[in-house]
Structure 1
């Protein structure tokens, strides 16, 4: 009995070759505008119903790519648009639908004149090879099927039955899956395979598998949690997996396999055939490496943020505690100042005037008290951070030992400083240490009369590491969130090859002028639509009152209404976000 191939859901299968119900005017214009060549072929037919029927058949062969079934109703907007272009009334199509021989003759003529081809076994083989790169990037059936249909339209090949396309997509996806499995596992040694198998086995002295241990949540952002994350990261690194595997397998495929490794129980994974099991575990460990890297760096971000908050809080608390004493000193010096001003005006002895307010010894002691109450001239809290240096040292050495930080030229001195701190241990910072990264706010704390303060040098470097990771000027290999910006882009070599060999698979025109014109057209359409909805009072919670646009505040909407409003907005605006135009 033949194996049943299932790639799509029943709903997806039904809609695949249908014209969408929500076709916009722009899409109708794109797919159903007739060229001069089209009109010349249509003019060869004299009767109105034949002219319109021929036009509809031609339109359907182009989109959705199959012959028109006379039993189905042509969407009114499309029928009207086609009829207007040839100067016929839409209702004459009813006379054409009943003439089967004429329809068949027209279909053959269209295929001959416009070079449409039947779907053959050779087409099946060609498309199987063509689809392979896409199948290596995703295993979503609907994506593969839509790509196949789009390519068939571009090649002017008549669409076969959905079951044929589904089998083609299924077989290609299966071959792509096997290729991904092989890529991830072909370099594994026997020892590495044993290590992977051990992930699924409960240790003799424990109650859980190593896989379950790796899946445990990292805990709150504090040094002890950070060290546990690093422990797991070092455990995975001990497998010796090739990090370049992440570049040999498409990110979507790798993420999908990693998700399976994360969700399935060890017992379920053990039932996989070996090739799939090892590939799934390798993908999971590679993805977990990046996840743990991101987690550790996020923890550093939170710990440093908490350090600054604690310093600021302590700074404010001290100021509040000393508020009464500071107020007393201010009032005292105001009295002293008034006495000195009066003495100058009356040409009196200023010292006698001062002692009339308070004894000299009391004045001297008050100055000493004022010094203890005074904060730094910039009224900053950085001088209080040294109290928390030991807390940072609980995890900082592991941070610097575990990760190699790369930097853009603007942050190169930060990377150099981090390397220096890592190699120093507990030694003093040398005089030739990098200082370019130190901001003016930190300078007086780092560079002192006694030389470079070790504590503040390290705290400043770790603070700038946090800033650099946030801005993207500093990155870490193997990270998802903190990787180099160029990793998000297509390699220059691949981009040039695509431009040379054919049209790059991007959803926008490569010409800037064309792209801007398209966006302007779309913007005009959307603004026109919104303007009409405003005029018809059809925008939810928006109205025109006395020539002004009134928008109901969000806080006045009910809880139930606030949930439905975004979806209602998207429905009314045809799926376009107003601000994305």
Structure 2
């Protein structure tokens, strides 16, 4: 049967009450408005008035008239009875005694609510279901529930469950087939062949190309980074992203790709008709972004855990190992300085005089003179030998950074020793990823793209080759890149420059100043907005699926009018409600 795909609960609640209506449902569907109260007042007998009111609420909530009023939950019966002033709700049992009265009431309610038969609205419903099938990932069960809600909201009487279930199944199948056919038509014949070949395991290999491309590289190393970028190169070589898929909603591409990313290759190969190629195309388009995201995640891990962190850790370890040496040198320098500070700058002495002048010299007092440099050096040497002092000062100069140098100099210098870890993938990183960036990241992207050319000069790379990116070489990188004493004048340390660019890239990726075009996690957040060209294609279908008008002002006017009507209706009923009192502007 066509409705077998529905759940037991869906079948049980279709056109009948499965549970008691909630207070919100009672207010929404069983509340009798002014027109309903006028009409129900014409009925004779409390059981007829109550029966009419229950039919009013039931058809609005279930989309059908129940043959037996006893099937209406007691909470609904009591709620309607309270509105009509019916003291004994049990009188409803008499309403079922006369079928012609029920039929007459049903005709009146149909006219009052302007209810339509299913056949009159079937074409509209097909358009709605088709729009939902094209623009969402709704399953058949979800589409069925959406169709029921649409019929009730548009005041259409529900058909038999078989009729509606079959309609949902056929419309969904038609639209999905149309999506697949459109994708296949847009795919070049040669690409279709190449996509199908990814399902076949090559001779001597353990997995199919599709399986290899779907498997992310997990080894955090330079070799792993190279493999991840090569994987991205292989994916982008198909050119799936260049296929015009503008006629298909992105969510449908995502749905096809989700299956293609999880199903085994033989299972995909068993798909019928155009769905097989459409699934592979969507999968490959998805892999373009996924492979880039995976590669850049690996780059982030490599930089943060294997390169930057390890260089910083090794530099700290080296610093700890040098502490005894530095301490000894500092103590020697301190001893020398203390000797200087303890030596008086001037000295008083009594020069030797002849005996006949002794009495006169005694009267004139001792002679004051300044301490000479040779005396000061002799005093220092008596504490610390000059050779040891010079060695101590050399140690201090080596281990203590000069004034004005930033604290990153030491670990960045250590980082340059790891050039072999990145040399194998730098060119791939620059050329493979479709880089993009904000104004703040444009300089980083330009420097990265030019990095392979700089490295190609080898040891002859000079300042003129990075002149366009000199602003990027800041802080301690400036000293490491430009002032390597082992290099000739106007030559640069290309290892240091490489890490300078990679560190800037790593930082810019984290701040989103640099991103990968077309990627998801590492892509441009602004790219998630629907482009005007794509919106113009899908707008009618999207608006139909959401039940919204094209004019937002019209939608807001309707909401405003509905809200105003509800407030006025509530205000008019306050005086007649004994449970409510208003005193000093306060509602109790």
Shorter-chain TM range is 0.7 to 0.9
> Displacement of 1:433 after TM fit?
1.3
* Alignment match, 1:59: 57
* Alignment match, 1:470: 510
Which of residues 379, 389, 394 is equivalent to 2:407?
A: 379
> Displacement of 1:335 after TM fit?
4.2
Structure having the higher Rg: 2
CA separation of 1:240 and 1:65: change in aligned 2, threshold 3 A = same
Which of residues 456, 469, 477 is equivalent to 1:434?
A: 469
CA separation of 1:259 and 1:367: change in aligned 2, threshold 3 A = same
Q: Which structure 2 residues correspond to residues 64-463 of structure 1 after superposition, within 5 A?
A: 64-68=62-66, 70-74=69-73, 76=75, 91-92=89-90, 94-95=92-93, 98-99=96-97, 101=99, 102-120=101-119, 122-137=120-135, 138-245=137-244, 247-306=246-305, 307-343=307-343, 351=377, 354-375=380-401, 377-380=405-408, 381-427=411-457, 428=461, 430=465, 432-436=467-471, 440=475, 442=477, 444-446=479-481, 450=490, 453-463=493-503
CA deviation string 1:174-223 (max 9, x = no partner): 01111111122113344333323322333344454333433444231222
Following the alignment from structure 1 to structure 2, what is the Cα–Cα distance between the partners of residues 338 and 177? 89
CA separation of 1:227 and 1:25: change in aligned 2, threshold 3 A = farther
Q: Secondary structure at the match of 1:490?
A: coil
> Displacement of 1:465 after TM fit?
2.5
Segments of structure 2 that go 5 or more residues without pairing to the other structure are 348-369, 485-489, 564-588
If the length of structure 2 is used for normalisation, what is the TM-score? 0.74
Segments of structure 1 that go 5 or more residues without pairing to the other structure are 519-581
Following the alignment from structure 1 to structure 2, what is the Cα–Cα distance between the partners of residues 459 and 82? 77
Which of residues 521, 528, 531 is equivalent to 1:488?
A: 528
CA separation of 1:79 and 1:291: change in aligned 2, threshold 3 A = farther
> Displacement of 1:294 after TM fit?
1.4
Q: Is the 8 A contact 1:139 1:173 kept in 2?
A: no
CA separation of 1:97 and 1:284: change in aligned 2, threshold 3 A = farther
Q: Is the 8 A contact 2:30 2:56 kept in 1?
A: no
If the length of structure 1 is used for normalisation, what is the TM-score? 0.75
Q: Is the 8 A contact 1:53 1:96 kept in 2?
A: no
Q: Is the 8 A contact 2:200 2:209 kept in 1?
A: yes
Which of residues 479, 487, 496 is equivalent to 2:519?
A: 479
CA separation of 1:354 and 1:56: change in aligned 2, threshold 3 A = farther
> Displacement of 1:393 after TM fit?
1.7
Q: Secondary structure at the match of 1:433?
A: helix
Following the alignment from structure 1 to structure 2, what is the Cα–Cα distance between the partners of residues 119 and 342? 110
CA separation of 1:239 and 1:495: change in aligned 2, threshold 3 A = closer
Q: Secondary structure at the match of 1:406?
A: strand
The range that moved more, 476-485 or 8-17, is 8-17
* Alignment match, 2:12: 14
* Alignment match, 1:565: none
Following the alignment from structure 2 to structure 1, what is the Cα–Cα distance between the partners of residues 266 and 260? 12
Following the alignment from structure 1 to structure 2, what is the Cα–Cα distance between the partners of residues 336 and 285? 73
CA separation of 1:345 and 1:37: change in aligned 2, threshold 3 A = farther
> Displacement of 1:313 after TM fit?
0.8
CA separation of 1:322 and 1:6: change in aligned 2, threshold 3 A = same
Following the alignment from structure 1 to structure 2, what is the Cα–Cα distance between the partners of residues 451 and 50? 101
Following the alignment from structure 2 to structure 1, what is the Cα–Cα distance between the partners of residues 421 and 9? 58
The range that moved more, 312-321 or 218-227, is 218-227
Following the alignment from structure 1 to structure 2, what is the Cα–Cα distance between the partners of residues 504 and 128? 11
Following the alignment from structure 1 to structure 2, what is the Cα–Cα distance between the partners of residues 160 and 316? 77
CA separation of 1:73 and 1:506: change in aligned 2, threshold 3 A = closer
CA deviation string 1:244-290 (max 9, x = no partner): 44544333322332333344444333333342222222222222222
* Alignment match, 2:581: none
Q: Larger relative contact order (C-alpha < 8 A, sep ≥ 6)?
A: 2
CA separation of 1:207 and 1:408: change in aligned 2, threshold 3 A = closer
Q: Is the 8 A contact 1:149 1:159 kept in 2?
A: yes
CA deviation string 1:11-61 (max 9, x = no partner): 343346567869765666555555444444444446544444433332333
Aligned pair count reads 510
Q: Is the 8 A contact 2:441 2:508 kept in 1?
A: yes
Q: Is the 8 A contact 1:498 1:504 kept in 2?
A: no
